[in-house]
C-alpha cells in the first residue's frame, strides 16, 4: 500500500534529549484503496537504508553497487538496490551469528541468549569489524543478511476525525532513534527515513488491525490510559474518537490519562490538545515529568497516588490501556497496579497476579508495548 506524506513535523523542537515527530499520511489520489482503521491499530512502514549506510557497506565490501544479486524474496536486483531497499543493515539479527557459528565455525556463543545479548545495539558494520575475513566474500556476503522488515507504529489518529476533514488521513508519533555505541553514532533505519520525509513523498507500508487494543464497545465504559514517550500515540486516536462521540451527543464514561516524559517544558507531547480535551470534560490528565526534579518521578508514582480512585474505577468495569516501552514502562506499571490490587483489594501477591491475568483475559487490561 502506498501512502503520501501530508505533514511531517517535529513536536519537540526544543528538547535536549530526543526528537519526536508527528507524521500524517493520506492515500495517493489515484488509489482505489480506502484508509480503513480503528484507533489502536498499527501502521507499518517499509523503510529504506540511508545513503551513508549503503556507501559504508559498499566501501567495506569493495563493491560498486552495480553488481547483481538474486535475493530470495525480491529476485534479481543490483547490489545498490539490495542494500537500499531489501536488507537489514542497522540491526544485527542473532540468527546471522548462529549461521556463521554453525556453518563457518566463527564465534563461540554459548546459546541463543548470548547471541542476542551480543547483537543488541550492533549492526552489520560491527559484524564486518568483528570478522574482517567476511569482506572477501564481496557480493556473496549479502546472502548472510536478513530481509529489511517493515517497522510497526501505533496509529495516533482516529478515522472519524480525519473523515470530518473530508480527506482520509492516518497519523503516527515516533522517536528518531539515534544513539552512540562502540564509538560510532547510529541511526534507526525507519525512524530516520521517516524523519527526513517531505510532504508529497510516497512511502510504502500498510495498516494492521490490533484487536487487543480497542476502545470499549460501550462509550459509557470508563477508561484509564497509561503511557510514556511515544506510548501516547494510540491515546491521541482514542481522544479524537471520543471527541466526535461527545459531539454526537453520546453518553461518555470518564477517562483518565497517566503520561510520562522527561521535561514538562519541552516534552509535554500534545499538551495543548489534552488541555483542550480536559476543558471539554473528555479526560483528566496526570503527568509525570521524570527529569524536572532531583528524584525521578514516573507514571507508576502517579498511579500509586491515585490508588483508591483506580480501584473504584476497576470496580466500575473500567478498561485499562498501557502503551510504551516494554522493558521500562510496562514492568513498572504492572508493579504499581499489583501494589494497588494488594493494598486496595486486600489481596495476597498471588491473588493480585491472578487478578492481573483475569483482567487481561477479559480484555479489561490491554497492552501495546514494544
Ligand atoms: C507493536 C509495535 C508498536 C510500535 N509503535 C511505535 C510508535 O508508536 N512509535 C515509535 O516511535 N516506535 C514504535 N515502535 C517501534 C518501531 O517499530 C521501531 O522499532 C522504532 O521506530 C525503531 O526503528 P528504526 O528502524 O528506526 O530503528 P532500527 O534500525 O530498527 O534500530 C533499532 C535498534 O537500535 C538499537 N537501539 C535503539 N536505541 C538504542 C540505545 N539507546 N542503545 C543501544 N541500542 C539501541 C536496538 O538494538 C534496536 O533494536 C513500535 C514497535 C512495535 C513492535
Ligand atoms: N526496540 C526498538 O527498536 C525500539 C526503538 C525505539 C523505541 N523503543 C522503545 O520505545 C521507548 C520509547 O522511547 P521514548 O523516549 O519515547 O520513551 P521512554 O524511553 O520510555 O521515556 C519516556 C519516559 O518514561 C520514563 N521512564 C523510564 N523508565 C521508566 C519506568 N521504569 N517506568 C515509567 N517510566 C519510565 C522516562 O524517564 P527517564 O528517561 O528520565 O528515566 C521518560 O520520562 C524506548 O524506551 C524503547 O524502549 C524501542
Q: Ligand 2 center to residue 328 CA distance, Å? A: 6
Sheet holding 365-369, edge to edge: 284-289, 255-261, 223-228, 319-324, 365-369
Distance CA 241, CA 158 (A): 6
Q: Ligand 2 center to residue 330 CA distance, Å? A: 10
Ligand 2 contact, 319 CB (< 6 A): no
Buried b vs exposed e over 96-123: b needs ≥16 C-beta within 10 Å? bbeebeeeeebeebeeeeebeebbeebb
Classify domain 2-44+151-208 at the CATH class level: mainly beta
Q: Ligand 1 center to residue 325 CA distance, Å? A: 10
The predicted pLDDT at position 73 comes to 87
- Residue with the smallest CA separation from ligand 1 atom 5 is 153
Place of cell 495498516: 207
CB 288 within 8 A of CB 302: yes
φ and ψ at 22, to 5 degrees? -120, 120
- Residue with the smallest CA separation from ligand 2 atom 17 is 229
Say how far residue 15 (Cα) sits from the centre of its chain. Answer: 19
N-to-C CA span, the chain? 24
CB 194 within 8 A of CB 291: no
Give the domain ranges of the chain. Answer: 2-44+151-208, 51-144, 223-369
Q: Which atom of ligand 1 is nearest to the CA of 233?
A: 8
Ligand 2 contact, 323 CB (< 6 A): no
Q: Which atom of ligand 1 is nearest to the CA of 234?
A: 8
The predicted pLDDT at position 126 comes to 98
Burial of 240 (0-12, 13-18, 19+ CB in 10 A): buried
DSSP designation for 338: H
The predicted pLDDT at position 94 comes to 98
Ligand 2 contact, 329 CB (< 6 A): yes
Ligand 1 contact, 173 CB (< 6 A): yes
Taking domain 223-369, whether its CATH number is 2.40.160.150 is answered by no
Q: For a pocket test of ligand 2, which of 328, 335, 339, 367 has the largest count of ligand atoms closer than 8 A to its C-beta?
A: 328
Q: Ligand 2 center to residue 43 CA distance, Å? A: 20
Q: Which atom of ligand 2 is nearest to the CA of 91?
A: 3
Q: Ligand 2 center to residue 364 CA distance, Å? A: 24
- Residue with the smallest CA separation from ligand 2 atom 45 is 325
Q: What is the pLDDT along the chain (370 residues), one digit of tens a residue?
A: 999 999 999 999 999 999 999 999 999 999 989 899 999 999 999 999 999 999 999 999 999 999 999 998 889 999 999 999 999 999 999 999 999 999 999 999 999 999 999 999 999 999 999 999 999 999 999 999 999 999 999 999 999 765 555 678 999 999 999 999 999 999 999 999 999 999 999 999 999 999 999 999 999 999 999 999 999 999 999 999 999 999 999 999 999 999 999 999 999 999 999 999 999 999 999 999 999 999 999 999 999 999 999 999 999 999 999 999 999 999 999 999 999 999 999 999 999 999 999 999 999 999 999 9
Q: Ligand 1 center to residue 224 CA distance, Å? A: 25
Ligand 2 contact, 99 CB (< 6 A): no
Angle of helix 331-344 versus helix 349-361 axis, rounded to 10: 120
Domains 2-44+151-208 and 223-369 share a fold: no
- Residue with the smallest CA separation from ligand 2 atom 46 is 325
Ligand 1 contact, 188 CB (< 6 A): yes
Q: Ligand 2 center to residue 209 CA distance, Å? A: 24
Ligand sitting nearest the alpha carbon of 17: 2
Ligand sitting nearest the alpha carbon of 233: 1
Ligand 2 contact, 192 CB (< 6 A): no
Q: Which residues pair with 174 in a beta bridge?
A: 21
Ligand 2 contact, 229 CB (< 6 A): yes
Amino acid at each position: 500500500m502506498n501512502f503520501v506524506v501530508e505533514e511531517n513535523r517535529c513536536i519537540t523542537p526544543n528538547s535536549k534529549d530526543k526528537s519526536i515527530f508527528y507524521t500524517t499520511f493520506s492515500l495517493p489520489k489515484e488509489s482505489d484503496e480506502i484508509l480503513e482503521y480503528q484507533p489502536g491499530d498499527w501502521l507499518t512502514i517499509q523503510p529504506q537504508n540511508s545513503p551513508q549506510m549503503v556507501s559504508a557497506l559498499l566501501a567495506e565490501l569493495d563493491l560498486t553497487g552495480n553488481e547483481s544479486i538474486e535475493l530470495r524474496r525480491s529476485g534479481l536486483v543490483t547490489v545498490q538496490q539490495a542494500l537500499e531497499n531489501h536488507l537489514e543493515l542497522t540491526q544485527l539479527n542473532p540468527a546471522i551469528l548462529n549461521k556463521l557459528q554453525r556453518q563457518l565455525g566463527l564465534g563461540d556463543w554459548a546459546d541463543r541468549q548470548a547471541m542476542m545479548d551480543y547483537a543488541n545495539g550492533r549492526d552489520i558494520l560491527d559484524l564486518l569489524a568483528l570478522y574482517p575475513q567476511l569482506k572477501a566474500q564481496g557480493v556473496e556476503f549479502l546472502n548472510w543478511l536478513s530481509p529489511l522488515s517493515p517497522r510497526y507504529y501505533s496509529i495516533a489518529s482516529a478515522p472519524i476525525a480525519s473523515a470530518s476533514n473530508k480527506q482520509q488521513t492516518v497519523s503516527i508519533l515516533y522517536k528518531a532513534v539515534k544513539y552512540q555505541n562502540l564509538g560510532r553514532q547510529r541511526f534507526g533505519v525507519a525512524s530516520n527515513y521517516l524523519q527526513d520525509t517531505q510532504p508529497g513523498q510516497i512511502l510504502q507500508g500498510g495498516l494492521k488491525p490490533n484487536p487487543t487494543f480497542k476502545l470499549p464497545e460501550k462509550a459509557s465504559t470508563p477508561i484509564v490510559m497509561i503511557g510514556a514517550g511515544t506510548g501516547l500515540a494510540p491515546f491521541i486516536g482514542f481522544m479524537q474518537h471520543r471527541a466526535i462521540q461527545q459531539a454526537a451527543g453520546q453518553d461518555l464514561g470518564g477517562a483518565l490519562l497517566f503520561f510520562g516524559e522527561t521535561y514538562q517544558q519541552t516534552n509535554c507531547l500534545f499538551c495543548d490538545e489534552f488541555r483542550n480535551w480536559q476543558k471539554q470534560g473528555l479526560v483528566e490528565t496526570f503527568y509525570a515529568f521524570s527529569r524536572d526534579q532531583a528524584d525521578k518521578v514516573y507514571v507508576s508514582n502517579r498511579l500509586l497516588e491515585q490508588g483508591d480512585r483506580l480501584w473504584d474505577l476497576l470496580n466500575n468495569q473500567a478498561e485499562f490501556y498501557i502503551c510504551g516501552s516494554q522493558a521500562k514502562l510496562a514492568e513498572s506499571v504492572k508493579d504499581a497496579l499489583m501494589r494497588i490490587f494488594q493494598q486496595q483489594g486486600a489481596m495476597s501477591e498471588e491473588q493480585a497476579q491472578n487478578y492481573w491475568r483475569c483482567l487481561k483475559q477479559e480484555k479489561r487490561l490491554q497492552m501495546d508495548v514494544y
